[in-house]
Every structure is written in structure tokens, then in C-alpha cells.
Amino acid sequence: MKRGVRIAASLAGLAIAMIAAATAPQDGTDIAAPFLVRGVEGDVLTTRLLTTRLDGIELADALEQDAYSSPRIDTEGQWLVVHLTVQTRQSTEGLSAARLLLDGREYGNYIGADDDLARIQNGPGIATSGTLVFELPADALRGAGAGHAELRLQTQVAPTLDDVPTYTLDLRGAHRSAEFRIPRPRVVEPLT
């Protein structure tokens, strides 16, 4: 080949390589992000591992429970109580890694309550109703995003490439009480 053609081909190859490197995905998070299966209160959402239904939300200043060691759980902020019915599809799953996204911040469900739904380990096809609780700052409802917070029912902390039931919540209209008594989770009729 002519020398000029060879040089041009090499430069073209170099240019392609540079473009590929420059446009390569910068970090892995977007590629490996979870798939969000969306719904609102009352919707039954089905993902690979779970079938879930959001039954309601409410706010409380303190939690009460039938635990000798900790009958009352207080906070400087406020408690968001999420009523859920959850059914697994293959084996047992835990919800200890559930997340609430609000105004750019991420909250994890409080894991120090005795009877929360996160501990339930019923087998596939068995629907269990109970609650998860999230501790939020006192001024959480004044943010612009309070009308569309996102509840993600993750079974693990980093659910890459898996589908996650995601409920949009309007916190502004939620009923508020001074105390909420955490109920024991109970088996209810199947969701599917």
C-alpha cells in the first residue's frame, strides 16, 4: 500500500479508538441499574422475586410495640409507616434493604423494631401483611418532592440488573398520629 494510505488508515484507527474510549460508559452504575416496576397505592406489582401490594401509608411521632425491651421508639424527626402485603415467588426473601427516596436523599427502613415485615420469611405463594417504618427528618414534608417520594422494595442493598417493586407515595396527605402501634405481621389471602 502506498505510504500515505497506510498513515491515513492508522490515523483513522487511532481516531476510532479515541472516540470509543471517550464515549465509553464512565462508571458501572447506569449499566447495572435495577429495573423499577412502578405503581401507586393499591397496585399489585409482580417482579422476579416478589408480588407486593401497597396498602397505605401514615405518619407518627412515636412507635409502640409489644416488646419488653423497647416498648416505645421515639425520634427527633418523624416516622413514616408503610402498610404492605408481600408474597415471594420462589423461596424466602427479606426486605431489610428497602429504600425511600425523597428530595434527593435516600432513607433505609429502620431495622430495630421487633415486628416489622422485613423479618418475615414465609415461603412462596404465602401473602403476609405488615409494616415497614422509615425515620425521616422533622421537615421532610416541606421539600418539593414530598408529593412523589419513591418506595423501593429491594431484597438486597445493591439490586443490580434486577427488577424492584417501586411505589410512588404522596406524603402530604398522609394521616398523622402521635403514636403508631406496630402490628404483628399476619398471613392473609394470596395476592395471586
Binding site for another protein (CB under 8 A): 48-49, 63, 67, 69-77, 89-92, 96-97, 104-108, 110-114, 121-126, 134-138, 140, 156-158, 187-190
Residue showing cell 412515636: 62
Nearer Cβ to another protein (139/170): 139
66 Cβ neighbours under 8 A, 6+ residues apart:
114, 115, 184
Q: Cβ of residue 183: shortest distance to another protein, in angstroms?
A: 15
- CB closer to another protein, 125 vs 147: 125
CB of 62 to another protein, least distance (A): 8
CA distance readout (Å), 139 to 142, 146, 147: 6, 10, 14
Quote the least distance from Cβ 166 to another protein, whole Å: 17
CB-nearer residue toward another protein: 22 or 76: 76
Of 58, 24, 19, the closest CA to residue 41 belongs to 58
Q: What distance, in Å, lies between the first and last C-alpha atoms of the chain?
A: 69
